[in-house]
Chain A
Amino acid sequence: MTKLSLKVPGRGFVIGLPYTWLVVFFLLPFLILLYISFVDMGNDISPFKPIWDSSTGLLTLKYENYWTIFRSDDGSGGLFQTIYIEAYVRSLLYALATAVLCLLIGYPFSYFVARSKPSVRPALLMMVMLPFWTSFLLRVYAWKGILADQGVINQVLMSLGLVDEPIQMLYTNVSMLVGMTYVYLPFMVLPLYANLVKMDFRLLEAAYDLGTSPLKAFWLVTVPLSKAGIIAGFMLVFIPCVGEFVIPSLLGGPENIMIGRVVWDEMFTSNNWPRASALAVVMIGLIVIPLAVYYHYTGDAAEPRH
């Protein structure tokens, strides 16, 4: 940053500010995390122990913090058969399911908004944004009220005589997915809408003209052209969902522990900061490495559209 040659005064400042922010509050904490993940804490209270012995000049990295993620300590289970791997897989699957649900709900909605009259679009988009005006926690708690055994849905079902006793909905996978889909839907809708609203409707006419039925034209023209929006929305939902902690702990069941919860437990229950850090580093790797590879080999998302 400091080497940047500047012609416009203030440019370095404007560009530098967010970078500084990211370095101080993202890169630095990440490096600390990485550091802690290699610390041998032993029976100490503090995880901030040196890993560099200045007298001998030896660097001691405790790789075990990582090995235990993949192979259990006591040798009872095989490779990759640990609760951590289970939690990772579960988190990735639930994040994937949430992203798919958001896409299935969000795509028709975004399409509908983008195709509606320009005068009503702000109102429709506002409906998507409106929930952001109330507290996130409040909204998740509201779902508790809806899904609980004595909640709105069960009471309606029972008063209609459709069921005799309440259906267990809260603290299940379903309630967790409902909550996550609900909270993350706007993150799918907004990039999709931004993409779809730019689409040239004449391209669809051209497709019809060339003998394509509307449904076929949607698959052959609209969907491929909105690929960038789909990917953006998918990432915006998938990535935070993998590490989601609040919604699973408020709405999810006790048997399905997500990785966010595992990290939390290691940190505050077991007080094993190095392992918690190692878990977090692996999670970042799980998300960032495939993404980096994907963008490197396609680079399609930024393709110009005319």
Chain B
Amino acid sequence: MAEQDSRQDYLVTEELVKRFDEALAVDEVNLSIKQGEIFALLGSSGCGKSTLLRMLAGFEKPTSGRILLSGRDVANLAPYERPFNMMFQSYALFPHLDIWENVAFGLKREGLPSADIKQRVGEMLDLVQLGPYARRKPHQLSGGQQQRVALARSLAKRPKVLLLDEPLGALDKKLREQTQFELVNIVEKVGVTCVMVTHDQEEAMTMAGRIAVMSKGRVLQVGSPQEVYEYPGSRFVADFIGSVNLLDGKLSVDETDHCAALTAIGEVHVGHSISGTLGMPVAVAVRPEKVSIGKKAPQGLSHNLFNGRVKEIAYFGSYNTYIVVTPQGYRMKITEPNGSHLDLLDITWEDDVFFWWDDTDALVLRD
């Protein structure tokens, strides 16, 4: 990842808007992407992430706003005029051309001497380890191989920005895990700036250096995977990334180093301040894995200790998930690594249990 200042603000969108008839697909998006980083646009379908990517590629003209590459506005350049190359979700390999010709397609348009083309295509095919398949047609390759051809083709022209549209979307789960590391390795080896679109948070978190979480055409939060997971800025982001218990309530204490909210299950203490007004509606977010569960209450806890009854237990192999219903009827989701402590073995359906968490493990969110 590039840290130098000169590499900041390599690809910038300014107040980017795209309107289809009356529907606002992308709403005033401001992004700043560093040179050499892998940046993910994450959101559910219809959130505008694909439209944003298509505007970067040049397939859609922005209704307003600018797209700056090293300070130069490229928003009105045709796709074939901008130094961006895209790897399509469907791969969009040319079925009438073999693998070699597919990779060479963009290079031939540049009018490079054929010796250079030959060399570059060879490099690209080696990079994705498909050298022996050069003379095959796309339909003779497996899904994973086709994906690598698509990657080689989009990298062949040495684009300034590589756009990945759901890069692993068409692969099955097992292949996806293996491929995502491979893809990151290749992209980092080449050192190209990369913008990817995905609806899969796991994919975004493993592959990207930074993530922009999008909803309804807007970017809600930009940050590293850790930041968006540990410090979601809003209820939507907390809920969208990973699993979370959201406790709605009213702000009851607000000091410089902590605050508290009165929620359905009682007063909840949080180890940071929110600088709000007392009584304002807030939500306290607690990740299921931050919550501990036990039949006996631990000693010396003055707050954030609640009780309930186990209603559901789901076994996931490496961890268990418990749904504990409080006397007030709130369903608390708690996950524990399998075998983390012996007490867990005794917990079964309809048991009365205690659950608790650290002040610093919860987050209070406005709205």
Show the binding face of A for B, using Cβ within 8 Å: 200, 202-203, 205-213, 216, 220-221, 224-225, 227, 304-306
Contact = CB atoms under 8 A, between A and B. Distances in A.
Contact of B96 (A206, A210, A225): A225
Interface string B153-170: 110010000000000000
Contact of A212 (B58, B59, B96, B109): B109
A276 to B, nearest CB: 44
A207 to B, nearest CB: 7
Nearest to A227: B96
Among B57, B78, B86, B94, find the residue whose CB has the most chain A CB atoms closer than 10 A: B94
A213 B80 contact: yes
Interface residues of B, number: 25
B139 A209 contact: no
B329 interface: no
Contact of A200 (B78, B90, B139, B154): B90
Given A213-B80, A304-B139, A306-B139, A206 B92 contact: yes
B109 A225 contact: no
Contacts of B106: 210-211
Contacts of A213: 78, 80
Given A203-B92, A224-B96, A305-B95, A210 B78 contact: no
A117 B57 CA distance: 24
A74 to B, nearest CB: 54
B209 interface: no
15 contacts: A200-B90, A202-B90, A202-B92, A206-B92, A206-B94, A209-B79, A209-B84, A209-B154, A210-B157, A220-B105, A224-B96, A225-B96, A304-B95, A305-B139, A306-B138
Contacts of B109: 210-212, 216
Contacts of A208: 58-59, 78-80
B257 interface: no
A205 B86 CA distance: 9
Contacts of B59: 205, 208-209
A52 to B, nearest CB: 53
Among A200, A207, A209, A221, find the residue whose CB has the most chain B CB atoms closer than 10 A: A209
A206 B88 CA distance: 8
B85 A210 contact: yes
Contacts of A227: 96
Nearest to A224: B96
A213 B92 CA distance: 17
Contacts of B93: 206
Given A209-B80, A213-B78, A227-B96, 15 more contacts: A200-B92, A202-B88, A203-B94, A203-B95, A206-B86, A206-B92, A207-B105, A209-B59, A209-B86, A210-B80, A210-B109, A210-B157, A212-B80, A216-B109, A305-B95
